């Protein structure tokens, strides 16, 4: 439901472009313009607010920086979809997270193979280089929209025949607990910003060099034994991370 927006009134002491930016923010947050809809042109906004193009452009630039708007060359400026929030102060379940955001979760297995691990993966798993690992590559979707691409490596010696399990429909931690009597009790994560390469962009259905969030995740048992290592790529235009501090 669209809520009424107060009429724009100029204030003394605040730069005009900031006043317009704040007023446009109210319109976006109150669904005056629906998500993914095009906002009025610069000329139309100039007439509406009685200001110059320079002032409007400064306001729009700030809203693009804040992730409220996105510019599309040759088409116009559009309202961004609201980002999905993932809290970092608890164990993460993609299925539960998607459902909490009103989405139908799904996993699409892209590849499962047993292979020799390289030096990088061996270091994360604390095993010798060239040891056999199970490598799982899968897409995580919400309402059939690709949101995250992840690759998981596990020591093959600990989890024989893992490739025969229902990895698309049963959470990995559940399979490890019920089929291999391995309980995950701790995880360590690192998060870095990045840009999509051609491969990741194609799978996630976005343009090359789009912002992504790269998450590396290591899972441990109660005895501090590392069980698996995960490298995940989240769409930066659809997902944000938050953490509660106290």
Q: Clarify whether residues 102 and 139 are in a common domain.
A: yes
Q: What is the largest CA-CA distance in the chain?
A: 71
Residue ending a domain, among 79, 112, 134, is 79
Q: Does residue 87 have a pLDDT over 80?
A: no
pLDDT tens for each residue of 192-235:
999 999 999 999 988 888 889 999 999 999 999 999 999 999 99
Assign 20 to helix, strand or coil: helix
Question: In this structure, is residue 152 part of a structural domain?
Answer: yes
Distance between CA atoms of 229 and 204, rounded to whole angstroms?
21
Q: How many domains does the chain have?
A: 2
Q: Clarify whether residues 204 and 109 are in a common domain.
A: yes
What token pair was written down for 39? Answer: 């906002």
Indicate the pLDDT class of residue 146, thresholds 50, 70 and 90: very high
Q: Clarify whether residues 188 and 215 are in a common domain.
A: yes
**Choice between 33 and 5, residue whose per-residue pLDDT is larger:** 33
Q: 84-87 and 239-242 as β-strands: parallel, antiparallel, unpaired?
A: parallel
Q: In the predicted model, what is the mean pLDDT of residues 112-131?
A: 93
Q: Clarify whether residues 58 and 135 are in a common domain.
A: no
What token pair was written down for 58? Answer: 């400064």
Q: Clarify whether residues 127 and 188 are in a common domain.
A: yes
Question: In this structure, is residue 9 part of a structural domain?
Answer: no
Assign 202 to helix, strand or coil: helix
Domain that holds residue 70: 16-79
Helix (H) / strand (E) containing 70:
strand 69-72
Residue ending a domain, among 61, 79, 97, is 79
């Amino acid at each position: 439901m669209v809520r009424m927006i107060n009429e724009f009134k100029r204030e003394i002491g605040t730069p005009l472009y900031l006043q317009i930016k704040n007023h446009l923010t109210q319109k976006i947050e109150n669904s005056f313009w629906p998500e993914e809809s095009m906002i009025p042109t610069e000329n139309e906004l100039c007439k509406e607010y009685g200001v110059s193009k320079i002032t409007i452009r400064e306001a729009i630039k700030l809203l693009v920086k804040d992730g409220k708007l996105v510019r599309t060359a040759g088409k116009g400026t559009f309202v961004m979809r609201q980002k999905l929030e993932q809290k970092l102060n608890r164990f993460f379940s993609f299925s539960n997270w998607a459902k909490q955001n009103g989405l139908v979760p799904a996993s699409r297995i892209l590849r499962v193979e047993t292979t020799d691990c390289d030096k990088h993966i061996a270091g994360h798993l604390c095993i010798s280089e060239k040891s056999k690992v199970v490598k799982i590559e899968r897409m995580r979707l919400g309402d059939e929209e690709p949101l995250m691409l992840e690759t998981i490596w596990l020591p093959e010696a600990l989890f024989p025949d893992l490739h025969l399990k229902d990895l698309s429909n049963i959470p990995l931690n559940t399979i490890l607990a019920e089929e291999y009597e391995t309980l995950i009790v701790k995880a360590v994560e690192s998060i870095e910003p990045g840009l999509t390469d051609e491969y990741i962009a194609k799978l996630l259905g976005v343009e090359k060099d789009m912002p992504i969030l790269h998450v590396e995740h290591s899972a441990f048992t109660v005895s501090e034994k590392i069980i698996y290592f995960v490298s995940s790529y989240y769409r930066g235009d659809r997902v944000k991370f938050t953490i509660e501090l106290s």
